[in-house]
Chain A
Amino acid sequence: MSGPAPATPPASLFGATSAPLPRPAADGGAPLVRVQQLVKHFPITRGIIIRRSVGAVKAVDDVSFEIRSGETLGLVGETGCGKSTTARLITRLLEPTSGRIEFSGNDITHLRGSKLKAIRREVQMIFQDPYSSLNPRKTIGSIIGEPFAIHGLLKDKGERKREVQRLMETVGLNPEHYNRYPHEFSGGQRQRIGVARALALQPKLLIADEPVSALDVSIQAQVLNLLRDLQRRLGLTIVFIAHDLSVVRHMCDRVAVMYLGKIVEIGGNDELYDFPRHPYTAALLAAVPHADPARHGEQRPVLSGDVPSPANPPQACRFHTRCPKAQELCSTKEPVLEDKGSGTIAACHFPLSHEEVAGMGVRSAR
């Protein structure tokens, strides 16, 4: 036989049989995280002996937003837009260049040592690649139990094992596989191991960075349902990072769209997908292929060109070089994020009208 017997998780975990449960009230929640004018520049250096800085990749450039307690916030955008860097700044895996990050009302921007460690207990991360994010030489029991060891919790061996097995059950793994190694699991099961490890310390905030993009289609749905179910049951706050707009729509309450280190539009899921105001949001939505051959051959606007280099982003509005609506103002004055009257907040001098959005073939269920 090859591989392990597929673990059969409790049926309810798959959520397939459960009627839609009420979602936590996202609007009423106080902000768990508040990010203000966050900046991260990575220096570009020249020279081997005498290193000098010749420029900077402006990965995240003046980003402000809130994450409300109990919500799922989606961060979307193309490669290099700064979505993963933003997540790493919130978890303090990267040191911000400037700006401020508040967690539960406390400034955590420059915490160090034991205070930083205390925050790390509250914020956990799930990574994209379930192969490289698990140590191949450790059993999954010790991988999932590692957070307890780091934080000096559950020192009693038997107690720790019981807790790890309970976690394994929560994410739909067979607790008897406690002593197996990562290579004995399939991609989807490994991603479950990553989820169990992230949940071990009962964090308040879970950051999922492209958690399903390395998985096969049939397995993706298992992991997405698991995350959705866990959120409902445990009241987690999740930051969900993905490039797949359909997946983000399925998972998130609110969505922030990033382009070249800036948030260009942020808003509630329904508003953003049905009435996008920023031309970039609409272009992203129009570019998603639909699993519906009836729409085969439908003409849709396609953005020309590529994303410019974040080391040398365009002046003023960063999207103006590719924007179909750009005018002179766009290359001289940077637009600010403001309410555009349809429920989303967008940074654009010439926001789209309902008619323009309809004309781009952006169509969802409503």
Chain B
Amino acid sequence: MSAAAPSPRGEPLLRVEDLRVEFPGEDGIVHAVDGITYQVFPGRTLGIVGESGSGKTVSSLTALGLTRRQGARISGRILFDGQDLLSLPEDKLRAIRGNDIAMIFQDPLSSLHPLYKVGRQLIEAVRAHRDVSRAAARERAVELLDLVGIPDPARRVDEYPHEFSGGMRQRVMIAMALANEPRLLFADEPTTALDVTVQAQILMLMERLQRELGMAIVMITHDLGVVAEMADDIAVMYAGRIVETSSAARLFATPEHPYTWGLLKSIPRLDGPREQDLVPIPGTPPSLINPPSGCHFHPRCPYAQPEHSRIDPALEPVPDEDQHHVACLLDSSTRKGLWEQLQAGNTPEQALAEVAAAEGAAT
């Protein structure tokens, strides 16, 4: 491994503790987020990776108080700068939302009001939290559009959302999120709806703004390429839980959870060997109403043992590596062996056989 990154730590800006979010529904209770804990540090980016229905979006909406109205049952704590956001009354929360904490959504077209000029929407974002004149807010709106790289901002501030392209709309959304210089930005799949060349522009913009403004980012995505490029730390979510978390470098070099392996091995890479077949994760993501017993991943895990359907693994540190946590019932040495086999191009079955043979020889 390369030299360890300088310790980022210090005081976390956001600390989520044992957060649970449940939605009672007709068919039963949907356990959208099932006890997750994570921290975000100032100036750093946390990537939350997972597939649809893994709870990654609900957990951040909850931090902003946006699931309250939907009848969600919420427990746990979300500490922002020492205050518990979950126990704040709506008006106090509103003072923080859009001011200290902002969010960018996936679809820039449906997040902008189609009948108002973008300038008016930006002015509203500024004046919601700052007691400034309309003219001053407008000046700020132009400045913001310029900041996010929209050419000719003084003219475009008077245009409607439909006059902007997809990439430009996402820039407007970012401008709006940055209006009050937030300390924390939630970005929920900010580039998923965009073409690759525009995606590259937006990612570079976010990195530049983070450097300049020093804000912390929580980047929610299903795209491992995007997190690899943006995140300092990564949390992998599956069925409402975090199954693995560590620094980005470590997660890609020595992942420990079979689900993370599955994700890494099921995407074709531009710099990988072409002839190798992809290794899909068998089966489909589980129901959140009736999640599987024991380890939630066991029905799809090629390495699951019979007892894994009964025992629920906790998120525990990997031996000798206190910043790398994993929720897996396999032995750490077994996991290391399996990952080595997978890296060598073996299938899960071959890897399992090899590791079993090696362990048999050792005893």
Contact = CB atoms under 8 A, between A and B. Distances in A.
Contacts of B168: 306
A241 B73 CA distance: 43
Contact of A290 (B51, B269, B275, B347): B269
B61 interface: no
B197 A303 contact: yes
B51 A216 contact: yes
A363 interface: yes
B229 A365 contact: no
A3 interface: yes
B268 A6 contact: no
Given A2-B27, A291-B228, A218 B266 contact: yes
B290 to A, nearest CB: 6
A15 B249 CA distance: 30
Interface in B38-95: 51-52
Given A2-B27, A245-B270, A290-B228, A221 B280 contact: yes
Given A2-B289, A3-B287, A290 B267 contact: no
Contacts of B226: 289
A88 interface: no
Interface in B94-143: none
B302 to A, nearest CB: 10
B277 A15 contact: yes
Sorting the interface of chain A by its residue count into under 10, 10 to 19, 20 to 34 or 35 or more gives: 35 or more
A228 B279 CA distance: 13
Interface stretch (B14-22, B178-186, B217-225, B321-329): B217-225
Given A78-B195, A288-B225, A306-B198, A225 B249 contact: no
B332 interface: no
Contacts of B166: 79
B330 interface: no
Contacts of A1: 287, 290
A293 interface: yes
Contacts, number: 166
A284 B197 contact: yes
Given A217-B51, A306-B168, A246 B197 contact: no
Contacts of A286: 200
Contacts of A294: 249, 252
B285 interface: yes
A323 interface: no
A281 B167 CA distance: 20
Contacts of A290: 225, 228-229, 269-271
Nearest to B277: A15
Interface string B191-228: 00001111111011000000000000000001111101
Given A16-B280, A78-B195, A363-B271, A300 B200 contact: yes
B318 interface: no
Contacts of B287: 1-3
B278 A225 contact: yes
B270 A246 contact: yes
B223 A302 contact: no
A304 B271 CA distance: 25
Contacts of B280: 14, 16, 218-222, 225
A17 B347 contact: yes
Nearest to A77: B195
Interface string A287-328: 111111111100010111011000000000000000000000
Interface of A: 1-3, 6, 8, 14-18, 20, 78-79, 186, 188-189, 216-222, 224-225, 228, 243, 245-247, 249-251, 269-270, 273, 283-296, 300, 302-304, 306-307, 363-365
7 contacts: A8-B282, A78-B195, A218-B266, A219-B284, A221-B267, A288-B270, A365-B272
Interface of B: 27, 51-52, 165-168, 195-201, 203-204, 222-226, 228-229, 231, 248-249, 251-252, 262-285, 287, 289-290, 347-349
Which A-B residue pairs are the 7 nearest by beta carbons? A289-B225, A250-B268, A221-B266, A221-B280, A218-B281, A287-B200, A221-B278
Given A290-B229, A291-B252, 12 more contacts: A2-B27, A3-B284, A14-B280, A219-B284, A221-B278, A251-B268, A273-B270, A291-B224, A291-B225, A292-B228, A292-B252, A296-B248
